[in-house]
């Protein structure tokens, strides 16, 4: 997994799925359309303001609320490279990794990193590197989660593993 580099966008605790992607957009299916409403509840035109790879750095319980997979999808297609938070809601955490957006747990990131600071996340090594050269530890991922993230999500991961197996089988077992 390559290093994720970008500017830090700071957010507080309990950023819920309704501000990440308001419920009224759940009817949209095109991820690029969803992206236009990412974090609309907190930052107007977030998708225009961010540069590809930028990193969200938040407090506790990021992604609490509904189980909508649309929320991490909107962030990913808006260009967010990763979300770092002190903790995540369980379902957001699973969804995020399964759709290929790294959700990174770090107890100290939110307290130390400054708004707009250029940072890089070294997932395999388990730290965030600050401009000053300071390293902030993050909770490491095991090999298999890195693999899902490398493939860009669970669906791609499955496709890679099973695509060569002869299409949807039509025969009786």
In terms of CB distance, is 26 or 114 closer to another protein? 26
In terms of CB distance, is 77 or 93 closer to another protein? 93
Tell which one of 21, 34, 83, 95 touches another protein (CB under 8 A): 95
Under rule CB under 8 A, which residues in 63-92 are in contact with another protein? 64, 67, 69, 89-91
Tell which one of 145, 150, 151, 152 touches another protein (CB under 8 A): 145
In terms of CB distance, is 98 or 112 closer to another protein? 98
Residues 59 and 14: their CA atoms lie apart, in Å, by 7
Stretch near another protein under the rule CB under 8 A, chosen from 36-44, 75-83, 110-118, 142-150:
142-150
């Amino acid at each position: 997994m390559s290093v994720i580099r970008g500017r830090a966008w700071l957010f507080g605790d309990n950023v819920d799925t309704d501000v990440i992607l308001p419920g009224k957009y759940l009817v949209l299916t095109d991820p690029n359309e969803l992206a236009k409403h990412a974090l609309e509840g907190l930052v107007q035109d977030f998708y225009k303001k961010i540069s590809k790879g930028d990193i969200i750095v938040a407090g506790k319980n990021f992604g609490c609320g509904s189980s909508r997979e649309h929320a991490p999808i909107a962030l990913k297609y808006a260009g967010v490279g990763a979300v770092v938070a002190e903790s995540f809601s369980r379902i957001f955490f699973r969804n995020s990794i399964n759709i290929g957006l790294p959700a990174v747990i770090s107890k100290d990131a939110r307290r130390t990193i400054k708004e707009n600071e250029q940072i890089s996340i070294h997932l395999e090594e388990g730290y965030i590197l600050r401009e000053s050269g300071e390293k902030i530890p993050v909770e490491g991922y095991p090999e298999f989660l890195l693999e899902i993230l490398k493939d860009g999500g669970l669906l791609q991961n499955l496709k890679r593993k099973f695509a060569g197996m002869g299409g949807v089988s039509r025969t009786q077992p």
